[in-house]
Structure formats: C-alpha cells, structure tokens
Amino acid sequence: MNTIHPKILDSLDPRIARAGISAETDAPFEAPPELDQFETWEVFHMAKRGERAEHVGSLHAPNAEMALVLAKEQYGRRSRTVAIWVARTSDVHAITVDDADIFETTPEKLHREARGFRVGTRLTEFKRARRAENEGAAEAKEGEG
C-alpha cells in the first residue's frame, strides 16, 4: 500500500533530487491520456549545397516551425549540415514492405536491372591497367637515374 507521505527519491544528481520523484518503485503509474504525443515529422538532411537531401529520421512536433526548431539540433548537430527539410509523416504515401512482392520480377527480365551493365568491372580493369603502366614508367625512370 502507498504511504500517506511518499518517500522522495534521493539522488547524488541535484537535478533528480529537485524533481521530487517518488522513491516507491512499485507506485502505480497513471495511464497516459490518449494522443498525449505530438504528430511525427520526417526529417531530411542536406550535407552539402546542391546535394540531395536524404531522409535521416523522424521526430515529434506540433507544427512545421517547431519541427524545424527541433530537427536542427536532433539531426543537424552531429555532422556538416547546410539545410534541413521536414514533412508531415502523414503526408508521406507509401507502398509498404507488406507489399514488397510487387517489386519482384521474373528471371527473364533481369535486363531491366542496372546490374546488367558491367561498367564497374571494366572501370576497375582500366584503372588497374593504368596503375601498372604508371608503375612501369616510374621503375624505368629510376633505372635511368
């Protein structure tokens, strides 16, 4: 049973001590009222001028201005940032992962996927050849000296 004078949590942290938190760990919590949270906003972060803004996460805010105020510290303080965008989560329309199978394709149509182009492999080969060539030239030069 709860006592009439609940014991206050004693802490070395003066902020906690001041907050007057009950020390009764089994004290019943009041159920939070419904909709006690602000709606969520999706945050987009641009690291360099001209680059595209990338989705980095979400946050709670009551409106767009507050979302920007809060997003600045939430997502702009850890790395170089030149711009932050926010959009209401409810304004984002999605084909969700529940329908991931609609992205599947038949093996006959693999040509549609960009991996059909072997540019990467050819580029690596070209670079390796050039490096070998340069090293050869450098060695020849050293031999002269």
Question: Which residues of this protein are in contact with another protein, per CB under 8 A?
Answer: 14-16, 18-19, 38, 59-63, 65-66, 68-70, 72-74, 77
Q: Which is nearer to another protein, 53 or 81 (CB)?
A: 81
Shortest distance, position 16 Cβ to another protein, whole Å: 8
Q: Which is nearer to another protein, 53 or 66 (CB)?
A: 66
Give the SS3 label for residue 41.
strand
Cα–Cα distance measured from residue 35 to residue 86, given in angstroms and rounded to the nearest whole number: 21
Residue 130's alpha-carbon distances to 19, 105, 125, in angstroms, are 68, 39, 9
Shortest distance, position 26 Cβ to another protein, whole Å: 22
Q: Which is nearer to another protein, 65 or 139 (CB)?
A: 65
Residue 29's alpha-carbon distances to 2, 3, 20, 43, in angstroms, are 12, 15, 15, 32
Q: Which is nearer to another protein, 48 or 128 (CB)?
A: 48
Cα–Cα distance measured from residue 124 to residue 116, given in angstroms and rounded to the nearest whole number: 16
Shortest distance, position 86 Cβ to another protein, whole Å: 12
